[in-house]
A and B are shown apart, each in its own frame.
Chain A
Amino acid sequence: MKFIFSFLIKIYQFLFSSHSGVFRNFYFFPIQCRFEESCSNFALRIIKERGAIKGTALAIKRIGQCHPFHIHK
């Protein structure tokens, strides 16, 4: 489970991410990052630390925080 999730995120990073992916240049403009660590790197780290289910939940929560009124902790 942990492995599958991490693998999927890796595929996203290698192919589709607008920061590092192979298809990066097709984006007309880069996706801005509100956090110091990118969401996909955060997801990889948190899944490793907290396990697949808790980690994925935290990663989704993190993506949900990508809005102007988020309070940085």
Chain B
Amino acid sequence: MSDIFNIYLVQPFFNLLIYIYNVLPWHDIGLATIILTFLIRLVFYPLFHKSSKQQILMNRIQPELQKIQKEYKDDKEKQVKAQMALYKKHKVNPFGGCLFAIIQLPIILAVYRVFLNGFSAEKLNSLYSFITKPEIINSVFLGLIDLTKPNIVLALITAYLQFISSKMIMPKTEPKAIGEDPKMKMASTMQKQMVYIAPVMTLVILIPLPSILALYWSATTIFSIFQQWLIKKTIKVEDAPKIIDQDGTNKTIN
């Protein structure tokens, strides 16, 4: 199992990283790391956009879904039909569920593995034949930071980026409106706590690890922040997730 994981997932990403390293005029594994991160993100961007949009749509049709449930309480067949018609009307793809999302986990783990494995001579020997094997890997990022060793400054930068990104996803709900619904309250308390807990945890995790992981994490977070900002800008205002509850309170959904 771990062989399959190594051969089909870790190795391709490792080779791609070294290929980028070779192509760069200025051989720097740090820059190669950033470029690889951005490339992967770019490939998955369409899925991110679609998924985010779907989530907003799904939230928007919740009240209508509840209406259907009440109306066809005794006829399950009709309920399913009405539900499907509603999905179709709002262009919600009902097939994107949690199962679909699990496919990304092996890829995330593989890329992490590449950076954790490092660039020893033994690892470089396992490169594909058509990738030029570098004599030595320059692991000093921008001539400043040795990425094979832990680095507190990079860890701090990552923690700060994590703080910004956690703050961005915090729901801007009126405190009053949340207070009425214990379910919403639970989710929002969680996200509020995470604004401070996430950066601290990031720091604790990164301090003992080679700083190439901090660099990879930073690059990932920067891209996420950018995506988040882009999605807020590009998904039209009329799609804005504002739902009026039966009791008239506003619920803003992220």
**Which residues of A approach B to under 8 Å, CB–CB?**
13-15, 18, 20, 22, 24-34, 36-39, 41, 44-45, 63, 66-69, 71-73
Contact = CB atoms under 8 A, between A and B. Distances in A.
Contacts of B194: 14, 20, 22
Contacts, number: 103
Given A28-B40, A29-B47, A37-B183, A66 B97 contact: yes
11 contacts: A14-B197, A26-B220, A27-B108, A28-B40, A28-B44, A28-B108, A30-B51, A31-B101, A41-B187, A45-B186, A72-B83
Interface in B64-100: 65-66, 68-69, 76, 79-80, 83, 87, 94-100
Given A22-B162, A25-B220, A41-B186, 5 more contacts: A22-B194, A22-B198, A30-B48, A36-B183, A71-B79
B58 A25 contact: no
Interface residues of B, number: 50
Interface of B: 40-41, 44, 47-48, 50-52, 54-55, 58, 62, 65-66, 68-69, 76, 79-80, 83, 87, 94-101, 104, 107-108, 112, 162, 165, 183, 186-187, 190-191, 194, 197-198, 201-202, 205, 217, 220-221, 224
A30 B50 CA distance: 10
